[in-house]
Structure 1
Amino acid sequence: MIKRHMGSIYLILAASIWGGMYVVSKLVLAIISPIELIWLRYLVALFTLGLIGVATRQSWKIQTKDIPVVFSIGIIGYFISIWAQFVGTKFSSAQMGAVITSATPAFMVIFARILLREKITSRKVLSVCLATIGVLLIVGIGDVGKSSQIGGVILGIAALTWALMSVLIKKVPSDYSQLVITTYAILIATVAMTPFAIAQIKLDELHLLMQPIAWGGILYLGIVSTAGAFFFWNKGLQMVDATRGGLYFFFQPLVGTLLGWFFLGEQVGVAFWIGTLLILGGVLLAIKEEA
């Protein structure tokens, strides 16, 4: 009973941290570019995860045959998907970023069928349809600008690529530490984006990083949102079955919307809430599907 309770707390913490991530990103992106922010966030996360790995005496060995899937996780999940999340959030809003990417569990149904040969049921099909309609509704809101619509499309790409990455993780042998796999994947993504990040850096604007909002946001995203949230999520899933654990993902859009309204003064329209309900309904159907 105590284990189940602690698992729920870990999962709620992780999802809530990710919900707040969109608000923090929105503030920091007003100062530096998305690729710079991701790069700096990963450098902080790598340092943090490295210290944790050394302190806990993790084994860093990985077999050659498993390198391709770890490489794919790093490029698809931690490079393309995270970049799309930050760019999409910059052009849209914290609420839209949190809600659209919450469709990830429903999109995982498709990739699980293709890569893992998992059975697709009518309920799973319905869940994907609901989530897709919800995303399209949010992206196509009539009272938002073209910039926000483009941001919504990019956020949709983020949800799809994160879903693909999540399924690819299941191809990694379970005898590896999740901390080690996460560290290697982030390292791969960091190396891949380094040329792009360096090209974006402007020497005459480095003083902007000294602002409390900038360095505070980078530390939050690197330590709390990346290293911390991943640890809480993985730890929670060790104590709670995956199907029930997926329910706690709903705290991400809930917290993201609440904090976006409270700190950024973002408005929430009727169409946005309808799309939100459709996405959450689709995700709920997907994760409640019985084997």
Structure 2
Amino acid sequence: MAGQVTVAQRFGGGWAGPLSLALAASIWGGLYVVSKVVLDAVPPFALVWIRYAIAVCVLFGAGWAMRLPMRVPWRDWTRMAVVGLVGYALSISAQFVGTYWSTAQMGAVITSTTPAFMVIFGRMVLGEPVTWRKGLSVVLATAGVWMIIGLGGLDAGARLGGWVLVLAALTWALMSVLVKRVPPQYPSWVITAHAMLAAWVVMTPAAIWQGRGVSWAALTRPGLVLGILYIGVISTAIAFFLWNYGLQRVDAGTGGLYFFFQPLTGALLGWWCLGERVGLSFLAGATLITAGVALVSLGQHHTGGRERGVQGGPPGEAIQPAQQHD
């Protein structure tokens, strides 16, 4: 109605959406730096399990508090479970292992290739057409990854970590396509909560196996506790809310452009906090990856968001379905 002030106009108006997306992507960039530090005390599978234990409690608790329909039929739950196994179990485990073996900068930059790699699985799983813009984005992103891993003068461990990060990006891209098969009537919060629950259950044996060597006394250190809370609460539940809030307030397809805050923040914090080196091959590769992601994101923007798809953060973050467009 004319003259009626909406909630979005009351709280932030036109800048609320872009600011929320920028904050979410920046939080995800910082995730790689924080996880690099925490992984020195907590092994990857155990950290994934702890993260999901926290996130599941937050997501289900908030969902019930907001009276969202958290119960779903078994048939739909199995689809959400597949999303969780591919994305939250396999991809996030690969992300943490790859970051542990390489650097926070590589984790933030290489996993930002997800939007470009979604082109491949969109074609394989959903039969979506591959335009010249999408095809070129995959070529640029792949060339960027090769510049960083193949030509970066890395030792064997860091190079292996880089390829594991590529696996994380590929499996998250596959998950981002599989989530399209979940019925659209479920809120993104519900999908993410059930997918994480399935991943948490599956990860339990591996977490117990790795957790045998964890010093529980070390887990009580204030710095480590804050790092785990950042990973489990801020980078999952809060960043998820900010990203979903922002997607509802920007043009369809524009949200992907805010991915660039992730590698930028991750690279800067890795250099500033951890003293990680930024070489020419890394900068060249990051530039190619950025160009590839920009190309596919701008392509979505130019089509007016007509393709029914997903938009979200990098591996490790709650990617949720964007506004649906028929």
Give the TM interval when normalised to the shorter protein: over 0.9
Q: Does residue 271 of structure 1 match 2:288?
A: no
Aligned counterpart for 1:126 among listed residues 133, 136, 144: 136
Counterpart Cα distance in 1 of 2:222 and 2:41: 11
Check the 8 A contact 2:152/2:282 in 1, yes or no. no
Q: Does residue 207 of structure 1 match 2:217?
A: yes
2:50 match: 40
2:78 match: 68
1:139 match: 149
1:111 match: 121
Q: In the TM superposition, what is the alpha-carbon distance from 1:204 to its structure 2 partner?
A: 6.8
Counterpart Cα distance in 2 of 1:48 and 1:147: 35
Equivalences, count: 291
Q: For 1:206, what is the secondary structure of its paired residue? A: coil
1:78 match: 88
Judging by fraction of residues, say which structure has more helix.
Answer: 1
Q: Does residue 237 of structure 1 match 2:247?
A: yes
Normalising by structure 2, report the TM-score: 0.86
Aligned counterpart for 2:266 among listed residues 246, 256, 259: 256
Q: Does residue 223 of structure 1 match 2:233?
A: yes
Q: In the TM superposition, what is the alpha-carbon distance from 1:68 to its structure 2 partner?
A: 2.9
Counterpart Cα distance in 2 of 1:171 and 1:204: 39
RCO higher in structure (CA 8 A, sep ≥6)? 1
Check the 8 A contact 1:27/1:213 in 2, yes or no. no
Check the 8 A contact 1:22/1:98 in 2, yes or no. yes
2:18 match: 8
Q: Does residue 29 of structure 1 match 2:30?
A: no
Counterpart Cα distance in 2 of 1:11 and 1:5: 10
Distance 1:131 1:58, change over 3 A: same
1:19 match: 29
Q: For 2:240, what is the secondary structure of its paired residue? A: helix
One-letter amino acid matched to 1:271: S
Q: For 2:253, what is the secondary structure of its paired residue? A: helix
Q: In the TM superposition, what is the alpha-carbon distance from 1:51 to its structure 2 partner?
A: 2.0
One-letter amino acid matched to 1:28: V
One-letter amino acid matched to 1:135: V
Which deviates more from structure 2 when the two are superposed, residues 77-86 or residues 41-50? Answer: 41-50
Check the 8 A contact 1:92/1:151 in 2, yes or no. yes
Which deviates more from structure 2 when the two are superposed, residues 110-119 or residues 179-188? Answer: 110-119
One-letter amino acid matched to 1:216: L
Check the 8 A contact 2:115/2:296 in 1, yes or no. yes
2:183 match: 173
Task: Could you tell me which runs of 5 or more consecutive residues in structure 2 were left unpaired when the two chains were aligned.
Answer: 1-8, 304-326
Distance 1:204 1:239, change over 3 A: closer
Normalising by structure 1, report the TM-score: 0.96
Counterpart Cα distance in 2 of 1:114 and 1:241: 27
Distance 1:277 1:213, change over 3 A: same
One-letter amino acid matched to 1:56: M
Counterpart Cα distance in 2 of 1:3 and 1:113: 37
1:53 match: 63
Task: Could you tell me which runs of 5 or more consecutive residues in structure 1 were left unpaired when the two chains were aligned.
Answer: none
Q: In the TM superposition, what is the alpha-carbon distance from 1:152 to its structure 2 partner?
A: 0.3
Q: In the TM superposition, what is the alpha-carbon distance from 1:4 to its structure 2 partner?
A: 4.0
2:112 match: 102
